[in-house]
Structure 1
Amino acid sequence: MKSGLAEGHSATIMTEVTPDMHAQFEGDVVHPVYSTVSMVYHMEWASRKIILPYLEDDEEGMGANVTARHMSPAGNGSSLEIKATVIKYERNIVLTEVIVRDYKNDRIIGKGEVKQVVLPKEKIRERIESI
């Protein structure tokens, strides 16, 4: 990894809840609110945005662990801020704390942590081919 990444670095994603983000299984909407699946996707994406500027051309990040607490519903049209902050950075492991907020209503929707491991692309390719 390129130098400069440190604890405290953060990245933010802004999104609005849309019907494709609703809680659903096999196309059937169970609840017309922001799904946990969508929340985890956004948590991972905000965390990934942090490492992108620091990856060398031959490197890539891989998700290694996600913990998530979905604490409050967010209805269709809710404006969300997903902020990831590096809380630990050691060698090739980056751990972020992520907070999902409905920023218009100032409510916490969810919290969690995302762990990413940065590896050479060749090593990732070899692992994928071996499965």
Structure 2
Amino acid sequence: MKEGMEIGQTATIEFEVTPDMFASFEGKVVHEAYSTVSMVYHMEWVSRKIILPYLEAHEEGMGGAVSIKHIAPTTSKTRVKVKATLIELKNNIVITKTEAWNEQGLIGHGEVKQVILSKEKITQMINDSKKVAEE
């Protein structure tokens, strides 16, 4: 991992809620509102933006844990802003605090843990997992 990553660094993304972000199961929309699954995706993505400039060519980030609270609904065509703040950095473990807002206020918050590993290590872990699944 390259030098320079520091506690307090932030990243943000902004987007408009679209139908592909609605809460749905097995292809059926449950309600026309921003889903928790989409919120997790956006919180992971904004957290990843923090680590990207610091990855070496042989490294990649891998999700370690996500913990969120989805506290308010957001409907189609509503603007959402998601922010990640680096709150903990231990060796190859990066933890961010995440928050999501719409025009009315806070709609969700949580934490995302990422682990920086060599691409070789990740490939080995995946291959080991496949072998176990095949047995």
Give the TM interval when normalised to the shorter protein: over 0.9
TM-score (norm 2): 0.94
Q: Deviations over 1:38-69 (max 9, x none)?
A: 00000000000000000000000000000010
Q: Distance in 2 between matches of 1:28 and 1:88?
A: 39
SS in structure 2 at match of 1:12: strand
Q: Which sections of structure 2, spanning at least 5 residues, go unmatched? A: 130-135
State the number of aligned residues: 129
Taking the aligned partners of 1:35 and 1:120, their CA distance within structure 2 comes to 32
**How far, CA to CA, are the matches of 2:17 and 2:26 in structure 1?**
19
Instruction: Say yes or no: does 1:117 pair with 2:115.
Output: yes
**Larger Rg belongs to:** 2
Report the CA distance between 1:129 and its aligned residue. 0.6
Q: CA deviation at 1:115?
A: 0.2
Distance 1:108 1:72 in 2: 7
The one-letter code sitting in structure 1 at the alignment partner of 2:121 is K
SS at match of 1:130: helix
Superposed displacement of residue 112, structure 1: 0.5
Q: Hey, what does 1:88 align to over in structure 2?
A: 88
One-letter identity of the residue aligned with 1:36: T
Match of 2:34 in 1: 34
Please give the secondary structure, in 1, of the residue aligned with 2:47: helix
Letter in 1 for 2:110: G
Within 5 Å, give how 1:1-131 maps onto structure 2.
1-102=1-102, 104-105=103-104, 107-131=105-129
RMSD: 0.6
User: TM-score when scaled to structure 1?
Assistant: 0.97
Q: Which has the higher helix share?
A: 2
Identity %: 56
* Structure 1 residue 24 displacement after superposition: 0.4
